[in-house]
Each structure stands twice: as structure tokens, then as C-alpha cells.
Amino acid sequence: MLDKRFFPRQAVAAGNRWDWALLPLVLAALFALAWGGAQMARPYELGQPLPISLDPSALPYYLLRTTLRMFIALGASLVFACVFAVLATRYRAAEKLLLPLLDILQSIPILGFLSITVTGFIALFPGNLLGVECAAIFAIFTSQAWNMAFSLYQSLRTVPSELREAAAVFQLSAWHRFWRLELPFAMPGLLWNMMMSMSGGWFFVVASEAISVSNQSIMLPGVGSYIAMAIQARDLGAIGWAIFGMLIGITLYDQLFFRPLIAWADKFRFEEGSSEDAPRSWLLTWLRRTERIQQGMAASARLLERSLVLFRRDHDGTSIRARPRPRRQALERAWDALLAAGVLLAAGWLLRFIHTEVGWAEVGHVFVLGCYTMLRVLVLIALAAIVWVPVGIWIGMNPRWAGRLQGVAQFMAAFPANLMFPVAVLFIVRWQLDPNIWLAPLMVLGTQWYLLFNVIAGASTVPTELRYAAGNLGLSGWLKWRRYLLPAVFPSFVTGAITASGGSWNASIVAEYVTWGDTTLQAAGLGSYIAHMTAIGDFPRIALGIGVMCVFVMGMNHFVWRRLYELAENRMHF
């Protein structure tokens, strides 16, 4: 049914004055979208220069182009996350394939995606800039999609058993169950991870907008290209203007997009909370007082309701068709055999590649470098957890502060680590410090926020009755943390740790090989190996480095994070 809280009658009766008040904002947004989209699809020939100016007056235009790319990528990431999570949670055969595949995709560096896809996208749109734009959007997509997919998968796996039983009692179809139960239950965590994905995309925006293809460098108009030019020119003033422009952009999409969504999604909580602590949004309040926008939203809601009727079950619980289908052992074994054959085929190809292209000694050397990077990742994730888990729990359990700090957290998560390179280089060179130690924090600057955002999402969904029970029992000190707080956010923490770990491996490519002007600092590790081989164009060793990184990431996910997932499902779920 249509949500009466979103469309109250007295709001409709308020009349058109609110429609007129929002009209300039709507028209400005539509004009910006139309004009920015037209600029993204203008004629372009490979080799044609796209000048990038460091004049601060060009930043609003660059900010518009970058924001459009990031929102298009965010929409594609949301669709991918829904499809992935539903398939992986409902079909065991799909789960066996999709989870390792996602581990591999998460561990492939963004430079690897760009080098593979940019030529194909340009070929799809000859004589048009849209091909290069699609390559940049796809690169940003790869920095957003995996986090959202893991979040939604974890949420669907941890839907309370009593809610699943209620869905079975009401004979909800799979389509009904997704829209009525699973997506509403996952909505708080999904929204926080959408914010994290949007902010995390800023970390890779420099690499996605400064593209190299056919020995040519294409600098797409955007904040990322502006930052890349400022770093190359050692222009600290331009870097300061870039930071200011990012702050303005993040504030705008926080107020106009994410904050209304967070306030609207508060109705999906499965227990009633205090109205004083409910998140608020001035824009959502205005939207609820409009007439035309409400009519449009009502039409969309009616379309969704029709789809629910179209895909309803045509049998009741007493029908033979309602009985659970027996597992087909023969098909499962055939599927396992097919996966095993694929793995053996890939292994054979890999062994031949190693023997003919790089040699076994190089493989051993790269694995040693991988161990160095793995040690940095584990230590940094542990330190980040010690700092941000308590902070995330406090923010998540105080909705009023969550609203106030939402924009601050987004800006800090969006702050590109590239802008810290000048400080890191000057600090290390000035004090003659060891790059193997002091470059390591750059790996976690952009990925530690996955932990914070996921813990906030987990803490904000802790049932009210559980909070009352902990208060009535007088839990305090370490006992409160061990029996109540840590188990309550543990599933969300594991999701954040998986994405933070994978992101740290990816970030090691830019964090272990840092350039500022003509000064380069390098730390021993797998990331610096890939960055160095990319710089000299040694493609067999680039492939070796990416392959070894995939092995390390998949190994950690299987032996560490996946076991913690099982622990979260079996012992730490409320």
C-alpha cells in the first residue's frame, strides 16, 4: 500500500506554494543534468587535446562533470548489488561462483580495469567523447559496486528467522519477499554503504579521469584531472581550491540526496523509535508538502504495487507446489565438477604463462612482496578497528549526532589520499624516515571509512528492546562490550573489514609508490611492484602482480573474513 507518512493528506492540501518554492531547485538540477550530459557526449577524436585549467573559476564545471560520473556509477552499482545479493543468497550454485568472482574483481586494481576496458569503450562510440566517459564511469563503478554488493549480501543473509517465517506464513513470492522484507531490512546498511561508495569513489577519481590509451594521455574535465595537474605542477594553492570544491560538492549531494534518503528510510526500522531522535531533512519536509511531486511519487508507487500483484504466488501453502523442492544432488555435483574443471584449466594456463614469460624465481619474489603488503594491511585494519569501532557504535546509537556528523564523515571519506602525498613526501624526506613504515598509513586513509560507515549502520539498527535489556541488566565496562555492543555490530564490522581490506590492497599501488613532482618514494611491497611495472610498461609482470594480489585477497577472504561471516550468522545474530 501507499505510504501515508510520505504522502500525508494535510500536506497535499497545503497547495502549490511548495511546488513553486521547489521549482527553481528542480529546474536548476534538470538544466545541470542536461547540459552536463551534452558535454559528456560531444564529438571527440583520439589524440585531440582536452585542456585542463588550474583556474579556480573552472572548478564548478569540473565538479559537475565528476559528480555526474559518480552518480551514474552509483546507480549502476546499486543495480549490480541487488542482482548479485539476490542470486548469491538464493542459489547455492550461484553463490559458489559469485563470491570468489567478487573477491577477484575487488582485488583487481582500477588501473587494470582501465587498461582492459578503455579501448573497448572507445570502439563502441567512435568519434565521440562518450566512449572515454564510459571508461571513466566504469572505473568509478569498480570502486563502488563491490562494497555495496557485500553489504547487501550480508544483510540478506542475516534477516531474522522470525521475519523469514512470517514471510513464509503469508506465502510471499520471491519478488514480494525482496520488496517487502529483504530490501527494507537491508535499507539502513545499504544507504550508509552507498554514502561510503560515493565518498570512496573520490579516492580513485584521479586515476579514472586521467586515462592512458595508445600511448596517449586523456585528461577528462573533472576534479580528478584538476588534482592530477596540481600535483604534477606542485601547485599547493590549486590543491587547496580542489579541497574546497570537494567540500562544496559533498555538502550539496549530502543535503539534496543522502540526507533526505536517510530520513525517509527511517520508516523501515522494525521497531518504533523516538520521534525526537529520528533523522530529519529540510528537503524531505518540503517534498512532503508539495502536490505535483507527491503525485509523481504516487504514480511510481502504484507501478511497484502492480508488479507485486503480477508476480504474486498463484497457489496457497497447502499446495504441492508450496512444498520445498528437494536438492538435486546430481546437478550440484555436475556444477562443482564444471567449476573444478574451470579452475584446473585456468591453473594450467597460469603455469604455462609463468614458465614462458616471467620465471619461477620472479614468482617467489612477488609472493614475498605480497607478504610485506599483507602484513601492512592486517596491522592497519586492526589499528583502524580499534579506533573506529567505538566511534561508530557511539554515532550509530545516537541518531541526533549521526545526522550532524554525516556530512563530516562523508567529506573525510571522500578526501583523496593523493592530496596527502605532498605532506608524506616532505615529511619523510625532511626527517629521513623509512618509506617501508611511513608510507603504509596512506594505504588505509581512504579505506578505514568502510569500517566506520558499516559499524554506524550496524549500531543504528540494534533493536530497542535489546538496548533496554542491556540497561536493565546493568551491563557496564568490558562485559557490556563483550556481551552486547561487539556482538550487535559484528556482522556489519565483518562487511566493512572485507571491503576495507580489499580497498587497502588496491590502494597499495598508489600508496607504496608515491610521486610528488620529480621526487619518488618507494616501499617494498606488491603495490609498488605493480606501480613500477606499469610505469615501465612490463605487461607480463603487471599481470603477475595483479594475479598474485588476487591470490592474497581471495585467500584472506576465504580463510579469515568468510569464517568470521559464518561466526556472525551462527553465534552473533540477534
SS3 521: strand
Q: What is the DSSP letter of 482?
A: I
Which amino acid appears at position 218 of this protein?
Answer: I
pLDDT tens, the chain, 574 aa long: 444 444 444 444 444 577 777 778 778 888 888 888 888 888 888 777 788 889 999 999 999 999 999 999 999 999 999 999 999 988 887 888 888 888 778 777 766 667 667 778 888 888 888 888 998 898 889 888 988 998 899 888 888 878 888 887 777 878 888 888 888 888 888 888 888 888 778 877 877 887 765 566 788 899 988 988 887 787 888 888 988 888 898 888 888 888 888 888 877 765 555 555 667 788 888 888 787 777 777 777 777 777 666 666 555 555 555 555 566 677 767 767 777 787 778 777 877 877 788 888 898 999 999 999 999 999 999 999 999 999 999 988 887 777 677 667 777 777 766 667 667 777 887 888 888 888 888 888 778 888 888 898 888 878 777 888 888 888 888 888 888 888 888 888 988 888 888 888 878 887 888 876 677 788 899 988 988 887 777 878 888 888 888 888 888 887 888 788 777 766 555 4
- The C-alpha cell that represents 534 in the structure block: 606499469
Count of other CB atoms within 10 angstroms of residue 50? 13
**Alpha-carbon span 347 to 341, nearest angstrom:** 10
Residue recorded with cell 529520528:
278
Would you say the C-alpha torsion 237, 243, 244, 246 has a positive or negative sign? positive
**Alpha-carbon span 418 to 423, nearest angstrom:** 10
Whole-structure pTM value: 0.78
The predicted-structure confidence for 70-125, as pLDDT tens digits, reads as follows 999 999 999 999 999 999 988 887 888 888 888 778 777 766 667 667 778 888 88
- Closest CA relative to residue 211, chosen from 224, 197, 195, 192: 224
- Closest CA relative to residue 415, chosen from 108, 179, 203, 250: 203
User: Which helix (DSSP H) or strand (DSSP E) does residue 218 occupy?
Assistant: strand 216-219
